[in-house]
Structure 1
Amino acid sequence: MGRLFGTDGVRGRANADLTPELAMAVAIAAAHTLAESDRSHPPLAVVGRDTRASGEMLEAAVVAGLTSAGANVIRVGVVPTPAVAHLVGEVKADLGVMLSASHNPMPDNGIKLFASGGHKLPDEIELRIEQAIEANAAAVWDRPTGAGVGRVHDLLDGADHYVNHLVASIDDRLDGLKVVVDCANGAACEVAPAAYGEAGAEVIAIHAQPDGLNINDECGSQHLDALRDAVLAHGADLGIAHDGDADRCVAVTADGAEVDGDQLMAILALSMRDAGTLTADTLVATVMSNLGLRLAMSREGIRVIETRVGDRYVLEELRAAGLALGGEQSGHIVMPEYATTGDGVLTGLHLMARMARTGRSLADLASAVERLPQVLINVPVADRKVGAEAPAVRAAVAQAEAELGETGRVLLRPSGTELLVRVMVEAASHDIAQATAERIAAEVRTASPASA
């Protein structure tokens, strides 16, 4: 078995790569692995999912696996990923399982695991779960019978608990703000409009009619055209877009300009700095963040710490250093005071609270960051390692870095969830960035051509 866990859990094409059998094996192994440290009580797990049709099938498999291992299960239905993480902490569960492939297209699905407290699993725990599956440990573990078999309960108001928690995190009412929210036909469909509305905003929800098949389909954080159109049509103050499991947030201004995760981090960092809650005046970002964010924070006296790509690594740094804010350019923003993982709806609330408190427009707030032209090319490959590490690819990267010098940078990395190598180039002009990225991408394609 190859590496099962990527940067954000286990993902694959539902019922092909990610089968019910695999989902059950992951659940059994996770229950046993996470229960090893405390045998005083049966493990308790919270299980949620997004709106994908395959989530129903995989939920059944996960629940069967958990209960067969003696774990009790609380099903919370369709909720955002950060809601599962929050509820794990609220009910003091030992394990959380979220079935979602985030922003990936509908045929995909995934399994995200949370340990007690709602924290994502460290690499070493994921490796132990993989080893247990590979060793077919489920076949040799003692299986409980009778009263030892786990029970299943439904928490019908779990989403309400989560919404109340979110709204309580802001001190400023949002009255007078009009927001369009694109729910991506995903897990945000009920929660995001409810949270924004309860906080006082006038809410217009779009792509909030999930049918199991339309999640992320030309909507949500990866497709902003419809959101822009709706913001302009309704004369809204801003638009907010979430992805399929609502752990990310991007925005558009009143005139339709995109505000990405880097700009959102800058807005929140300055807000927290002004309020005295930005610990050590430090922000955590990944290597994918635009150089413009670093320059803006430097001007404001805010230090930026870099991590690997993935909100789990941002969170690990936040926890290790006791810091208060971090995130990714993609819109995963982590605020440890209120959440144990990236939370798109929480981000949207705090963004609008900053607007309400200052009376400034989103465009004005976002102007703190002057983004360098950045080009990202996702290159389909047959083998991510070969595509990223071939000598010709490395030579092309070295040549580009020499040419750009201090005026830009190159980042080449394999995707953790898809058969892609991501080529990112920042430069003084878009033309230079585009040409440089295309040159490197061509070498990646040659090194590892994608399967037909």
Structure 2
Amino acid sequence: MALIKSISGIRGTIGGKVNENLTPLDVVKFTSAFGTWLQNNKNKKDLTLVVGRDARISGAMVNSLVTATLQGLGINVVDLGLSTTPTVEVMVPELNADGGIILTASHNPKQWNALKLLNEKGEFISGENGAEVLALAESEEFNYAEVDDLGKYETRDDGFAIHIQKILDLPMVDSEAIKAKKYKIVVDAVNSTGGIAIPQLLEHLGCEVIKLYCEPNGHFPHNPEPLKEHLGDICELVKKEKADLGIIVDPDVDRLALVNENGELFGEEYTLVAVADYLLKNKKGVAISNLSSSRALRDVALKHDSEYFASAVGEVNVVTLMKEKNAVIGGEGNGGIIYPDLHYGRDSLVGVALFLTHLANENKTVSELRATYPSYFMGKKKIELTPDIDVDSLLTKMEKEYHNEEVSTVDGVKIDFEKNWVHLRKSNTEPIIRIYTEAFSQEEADSLGDQMITKIKSLI
């Protein structure tokens, strides 16, 4: 069905033909490329990689291929088994490993899987490094180890415990305040590894946990992307159980969505906003998100006499800017929390702990907390163009058209008006301009998108 090769890894659907889908041969080739790239760039003989996977049906098969291939290259493997993306990211430096591979297709449906590549810091490899790995995969210039030099293989089952303890040890996580509240929380982990990790964390925090779709069998009961249209079951169960909160994570547990006590969504954009509100209230600093994330984060930063900056879209870009600005908090509006005091990666577990600390300290219900933030509404549209149209030239014309406004060209063109904004990004694969808008009402956000389509058409 699909095989997508990018600088951040390889992703595709299981089965089918080589080079068209994620087949065993594609897994072996790409793993060989990453292992070979590490060997070419490390000045040491024995390399060790940490491998972990979400609960996808194909996970065990892909895991066997990946770990055996690494051993075949002479690379040692520490296999965490069922894990989460942030847990693998934490465990790479914890074990002094040389890198890691996470086997997950994140929020994609069950027929997908992917290999995500980490450096020795447990962070996603850079775009430049990713391009080098892709080039190696194309060349197939691999040199496998002889029999006496095969890599060693070991398993570990303490990844969650170590990750959770590091979270509990954070000065900004107030376990006692959370325990005193005795929160009742429903968890929807879409039958993946969040069904193991999130309840473990909540039990350490003295919460009563009601599990919904927490069996890590890879049979996703609904579309695994944590969007409103997929989350009716947990919204109903929160009301039925009179719970204080609902928690939703995606299959690899790097995106966090919340449901209030009335069974209404907190708003995926507002997960980061609430956590930033808590952290910046206690430590003035810098908050970072990407250009397509809500303006509410900027509002919260300014409220606490702190600074806000926006990066290009993509976790690697957010992390790069966070390091440059020495940010206190960062992330993406899709529920991705990046807390650098723990590690530079989106992490739903630390997001849960920080959010619950904030909720307990504010002594509010979830709906009352949400009411303290400005309400914005986002719109998404696109304009399809003919292949002969120069999209870059069109975007440059739009930049000039609105030169009197606050304009960013870090990633496409973003125009900040006084009460709303629009972000125009071109597709890398089609003659399309994607149009993201945000305003104080859905009607206004959608209307702004339509205005931009009209304006673009007038410039063609």
* TM-score normalised by length of structure 2: 0.84
Displacement of 1:440 in angstroms is 6.3
Give a deviation string over 1:92-133, Cα, whole Å, max 9, x none: 111110011111111121111111021111111111111111
Residue of structure 2 equivalent to 1:14 = 14
3-state SS of the aligned residue for 1:268?
helix
Alpha-carbon distance in 2 for matches of 1:411, 1:46: 38
Alignment of 1:409 onto 2:411: no
Range with bigger deviation, 168-177 or 198-207: 168-177
**Quick one: which amino acid aligns to residue 249 of structure 1?**
L
Unaligned regions of 5+ residues in structure 2, if any? 406-414
Alignment of 1:340 onto 2:347: no
Alpha-carbon distance in 1 for matches of 2:259, 2:388: 37
On the 8 A contact 1:237/1:254 being kept in 2, the answer is yes
Displacement of 1:295 in angstroms is 2.8
Displacement of 1:270 in angstroms is 2.7
Alpha-carbon distance in 1 for matches of 2:420, 2:365: 30
- Map 1:173-188 → 2, pairs under 5 A: 173=176, 174-175=178-179, 176-188=182-194
Residue of structure 2 equivalent to 1:389 = 391
3-state SS of the aligned residue for 1:406?
coil
Give a deviation string over 1:61-97, Cα, whole Å, max 9, x none: 2112211211111111111100111111111111110
Displacement of 1:150 in angstroms is 1.2
Range with bigger deviation, 110-119 or 30-39: 30-39
- Map 1:196-235 → 2, pairs under 5 A: 196-214=202-220, 217=223, 220=226, 223-235=230-242
Alignment of 1:317 onto 2:321: yes
Alpha-carbon distance in 2 for matches of 1:74, 1:404: 47
Q: 1:45 to 1:337 in 2, by over 3 A?
A: same
Higher relative contact order (CA 8 A, sep 6+): 1
Range with bigger deviation, 266-275 or 345-354: 266-275
On the 8 A contact 1:103/1:244 being kept in 2, the answer is yes
Alpha-carbon distance in 1 for matches of 2:28, 2:69: 5
Alpha-carbon distance in 1 for matches of 2:203, 2:389: 47
Range with bigger deviation, 218-227 or 100-109: 218-227
Q: Provide the aligned C-alpha RMSD in A.
A: 3.3
Q: 1:378 to 1:238 in 2, by over 3 A?
A: farther
Q: 1:11 to 1:423 in 2, by over 3 A?
A: farther
> Percent same amino acid among aligned pairs?
24
Alpha-carbon distance in 2 for matches of 1:382, 1:130: 30
Displacement of 1:321 in angstroms is 2.8
Alpha-carbon distance in 1 for matches of 2:397, 2:269: 30
Q: 1:42 to 1:249 in 2, by over 3 A?
A: same
- Map 1:241-320 → 2, pairs under 5 A: 241-276=248-283, 278=284, 281-320=285-324
Q: 1:26 to 1:354 in 2, by over 3 A?
A: same
**Quick one: which amino acid aligns to residue 9 of structure 1?**
G
On the 8 A contact 2:108/2:225 being kept in 1, the answer is no
| Corresponding residue to 1:171 among 160, 170, 174 | 174
Q: 1:386 to 1:20 in 2, by over 3 A?
A: farther
Tell me how many residue pairs correspond in the alignment.
435
- Map 1:116-155 → 2, pairs under 5 A: 116-138=120-142, 141=143, 143-155=144-156
Alpha-carbon distance in 2 for matches of 1:211, 1:309: 32
* TM-score normalised by length of structure 1: 0.86
Residue of structure 2 equivalent to 1:48 = 52
**Quick one: which amino acid aligns to residue 354 of structure 1?**
H
Range with bigger deviation, 348-357 or 419-428: 419-428
3-state SS of the aligned residue for 2:148?
helix
Alignment of 1:57 onto 2:71: no
Alpha-carbon distance in 2 for matches of 1:387, 1:246: 40
Range with bigger deviation, 186-195 or 23-32: 23-32
Unaligned regions of 5+ residues in structure 1, if any? 445-452
Give a deviation string over 1:247-301, Cα, whole Å, max 9, x none: 111112112332234423232223223333x5xx210111111223323432332
Q: 1:155 to 1:218 in 2, by over 3 A?
A: closer
Displacement of 1:369 in angstroms is 2.5
Give a deviation string over 1:338-363, Cα, whole Å, max 9, x none: 12310012101110111122312222
Alpha-carbon distance in 1 for matches of 2:380, 2:399: 14
3-state SS of the aligned residue for 2:288?
strand
Give a deviation string over 1:175-196, Cα, whole Å, max 9, x none: 2111111112122011111111
**Quick one: which amino acid aligns to residue 116 of structure 2?**
K
Q: 1:421 to 1:88 in 2, by over 3 A?
A: farther
Alpha-carbon distance in 1 for matches of 2:431, 2:92: 32
3-state SS of the aligned residue for 1:258?
coil
Displacement of 1:200 in angstroms is 1.0
Residue of structure 1 equivalent to 2:161 = 160
| Corresponding residue to 1:81 among 64, 85, 88 | 85
**Quick one: which amino acid aligns to residue 234 of structure 1?**
E
Displacement of 1:418 in angstroms is 11
| Corresponding residue to 1:432 among 437, 441, 444 | 444
Alpha-carbon distance in 1 for matches of 2:49, 2:102: 11
